[in-house]
Amino acid sequence: MSKKRQNWYQPKIIITIIGGITLIWLFLFAFINTDREREILEKYGKYEVATIQKKIKLRGKMKVLYHFYVDGKEYRGSRLYYESYGLVEPGFRFQIIYYPKDPIINKLLYDKRVKD
């Protein structure tokens, strides 16, 4: 390989390596953060009732948007929805589990529908 071509090739390898390391770090961070939230909810979680606001399709995946109240303050959340979860429509109510110190950390529980 000529010297001129080699000079161009080396920075490209370095940039590729740095990009790869960054992607690996981001995936690990996302995995660890999700696991951490699950542990927090299992240990400190409290239950509340959330109301489904709407279903939306985003990048080919269905999501439900919901809201709930803690100490009179409204919080909103979203969660992926699959047909195997059963029928979910706007106005339906489900239990959620949330972290009392930061209710933004929450999870909708599809298997715990609240019927009026």
Domain of 36, in residue numbers: 1-44
Q: How many C-beta neighbours within 10 Å does residue 16 have?
A: 10
Q: Are 17 and 58 members of one domain?
A: no
Residues 59 and 104 in one domain: yes
Query: How far apart are the two ends of the chain, measured CA to CA in Å?
Result: 75
pLDDT, tens only, 90-103: 999 999 999 999 99
pLDDT for 9-21, tens place per residue?
Answer: 677 777 887 887 8
Question: Does one domain contain both 54 and 105?
Answer: yes
Can you give the pTM of this predicted structure? 0.68
55 and 105 in a single domain? The answer is yes
What's the pLDDT score for residue 89? 92
Number of domains forming the structure of the chain: 2
Judgement on whether residues 31 and 76 belong to the same structural domain of the protein: no
Task: Verify that 102 and 65 share a domain, yes or no.
Answer: yes
Per the structure block, which two tokens stand in for 18?
């740095």
Asked which of 44, 60, 79 is the last residue of a domain, the reply is 44
pLDDT confidence of residue 3? 53
Counting every residue, how long is the chain?
116
* Same domain for 108 and 56: yes
The reply to whether 83 and 52 lie within a common domain is yes
In the chain, DSSP assigns E strands to: 46-58, 61-70, 73-81, 93-99, 102-114
Q: Is the same domain home to 50 and 96? A: yes
Query: C-alpha 2: how far from its chain's center?
Result: 49
